[in-house]
Amino acid sequence: MKFFVDTADIDAIRELHALGMLDGVTTNPSLILKSGRNILEVTKEICETVDGPVSAEVIALSAEDMIAEGRKLAEIADNIAVKVPLTWDGLKACKVLSGEGKMVNVTLCFSANQAILAAKAGATFISPFVGRLDDINLDGLQLISDIRQIYDNYGYETQILAASIRSANHMSECAKIGADVCTAPPAVIHAMANHVLTDKGLDAFVADAQKAGIKIV
Ligand code: E4P
């Protein structure tokens, strides 16, 4: 499973990239707002930092305007994936932009039917939002599983990019289901390293090393 980080925080991106863990980045208007940076500038910097796809989201609502914005975003770098919302106009924009050879990430997906339409429109990525479904007492992971089954049934090449990931558990569950990519905030990726038994075991080893007077360097 590929790892994308869901942030526009360039320092967090650099840290994960240095560890060789990062396969791409996703951003959205809320994350750009949080970064306090200009969208074109920060997106360019992110594209120069990572080799993989960097999703940058359009803000227009009509297909025509989304296509114009998508073309402008795609000029930033070759690794831009234009992010469009899963609306009828977004699907039209997806069809045109993907026909021009641009990567397209169709976002705000909350149903299997929406995911079928995105694949038919030539999306490179479909972004089902796991956490936001869980927030309203629906089953976000079940949606990932349903889309996996449907895409496999028909050999759709659109990659399932599990989004709105809120916990380390979401990451491993998506990996078990067979999501192609998970995009998560930096804190969730860090949390994947944590285990209470690791902490407990390490405390005991450190205490014993002190008692034994072990010194290595
Ligand atoms: C996906 O690309 C979105 O940017 C993101 O995963 C949304 O996550 P949230 O529901 O935690 O805001």
Supply the residues annotated as catalytic. Answer: 83
Residue 66: the pLDDT is: 98
CATH of the domain at 188: 3.20.20.70
Residue 217 lies in a domain: no
Residue 122: the pLDDT is: 98
131 in ligand 1 pocket by Cβ < 6 Å?
A: yes
Residue 115 lies in a domain: yes
168 in ligand 1 pocket by Cβ < 6 Å?
A: no
Distance 59 CA to ligand 1 centre (A): 15
Please give the residue range of the domain that contains residue 140.
Answer: 2-212
Residue 88 lies in a domain: yes
State the ipTM, two decimals. Answer: 0.97
4 in ligand 1 pocket by Cβ < 6 Å?
A: no
Domain count, the chain: 1
Q: What is the mean pLDDT of each run of 10 residues along the chain (217 residues)?
A: 97 96 97 96 97 97 98 98 98 98 98 98 98 98 98 98 98 98 98 98 98 97
Residue 132: the pLDDT is: 98
Residues in the chain: 217
Distance 102 CA to ligand 1 centre (A): 22
Residue 83 lies in a domain: yes
Distance 78 CA to ligand 1 centre (A): 23
